[in-house]
Amino acid sequence: MVKTTIPYKDTGYFSQTMCDYLAEAQSLKPFYNRFPKLENFKAQLKEKSASFTLDTRQVLAKQLQQQYDGFNISEATQSNILALKTDKTFTVTTGHQLNLFTGPLYFLFKIVSVINLAKQLKKAHPEYTFIPVYWMATEDHDFDEINYFNFKGNKIQWNREDGGAVGEFSTEGIDQVLSIFKHKLGKTDNAKKLVTLFEEAYVKHSNLADATRFLGNELFKEDGLVIVDGNDVGLKTLFAPFVKKELLDQISHKEITTTTKRLIDAGYNEQVHPREVNLFYIIEGIRERIIKKEDVFHVNDTNISLTETEILETLEKHPERFSPNALLRPLYQEVILPNLCYTGGGGELAYWLQLKDYFKCVAVPFPMLLLRNSALIYEERNNQKIEKLDLTIKELFKKQNDLKTYFTKSLSDISIDFSEQKKLLASQFKDLYEIAKKTDASFLGAVAAQEKKQTNGLAHLEKRLLKAQKRKYQDQLTRLIEIQSEIFPNNSLQERQANFSEFYLLFGDVLLTTLKRELDPLLPEFTAIAL
What does pLDDT average to over the chain?
A: 95
Residues 370 and 398 in one domain: no
- Residues 118, 34, single domain; the answer is yes
Contacts of 246 (CB under 8 A, 6+ apart): 252, 277, 278, 279, 328
Reduce the secondary structure of 75-141 to three states and give it as a string: HHHHHHHHHCCCCCEEEEEEEECCCHHHCCCHHHHHHHHHHHHHHHHHHHCCCCEEEEEEEECCCCC
Cα 424 to Cα 195: distance, rounded to the nearest angstrom: 67
Q: Is 256 helix (H, G, I), strand (E, B) or coil?
A: helix
187-228 residue pLDDT tens: 999 999 999 999 999 999 999 999 999 999 999 989 999 999
* Confidence (pLDDT) at 521: 98
Question: Are the C-beta atoms of 232 and 64 separated by less than 8 Å?
Answer: no
Q: For residue 504, which of 224, 219, 223 has the smallest C-alpha distance?
A: 219
Tens of pLDDT, residues 60-108: 999 999 999 999 999 999 999 999 999 999 999 999 999 999 999 999 9
pLDDT at 386 over 90: yes
Q: Are 335 and 432 contained in the same domain?
A: no
Which range marks the domain in which residue 448 is found?
391-492
**257 within some domain:** no
138 and 56, same structural domain? yes
pLDDT at 254 > cutoff 80: yes
158 and 19 fall within a common domain = yes
pLDDT confidence of 321, banded at 50, 70, 90?
very high
User: What single string gives the DSSP state of each residue in 34-86?
Assistant: S---GGGHHHHHHHHHHH--HHHHHHHHHHHHHHTTT----HHHHHHHHHTTS
d(CA 295, CA 64): 37
CA dihedral 510, 496, 483, 9 (to 10 degrees): -100
Same domain flag for 486 and 363: no
Does a structural domain hold residue 432?
yes
- pLDDT at residue 456 greater than cutoff 90: no
Residues 146 and 190 in one domain: yes
Dihedral pair phi/psi, residue 24, rounded to 5°: 55, 45
R_g of the chain computed on alpha carbons: 28
> pLDDT digit string (tens) for 479-522?
999 999 999 999 999 999 999 999 999 999 999 999 999 999 99
On whether residue 306 sits in a domain, the answer given is no
Whether 349 and 439 map to the same domain: the answer is no
Q: Do 90 and 210 belong to one domain?
A: yes
Characterize the bridge pairing of strands 375-378 and 296-299.
unpaired
Instruction: List, in order, residues 6 or more apart from 405 with CB less than 8 Å away.
Output: 466
- Residues 6+ positions from 449 with CB-CB distance below 8 Å: none
pTM for the predicted model, two decimal places? 0.93
Looking at the structure, tell me whether residues 87 and 122 fall in a common domain.
yes
Query: According to the 3-state scheme, what is the secondary structure of 416-445?
Result: CCCHHHHHHHHHHHHHHHHHHHCCCHHHHH
**Nearest Cα to Cα of residue 324 among 370, 374, 358:** 358
Domain count, the chain: 2
Provide the pLDDT for residue 341.
Answer: 98
DSSP symbol at 170: B
Residue 50 within any structural domain of the chain: yes
Task: Say if residue 488 is in the same domain as residue 518.
Answer: no
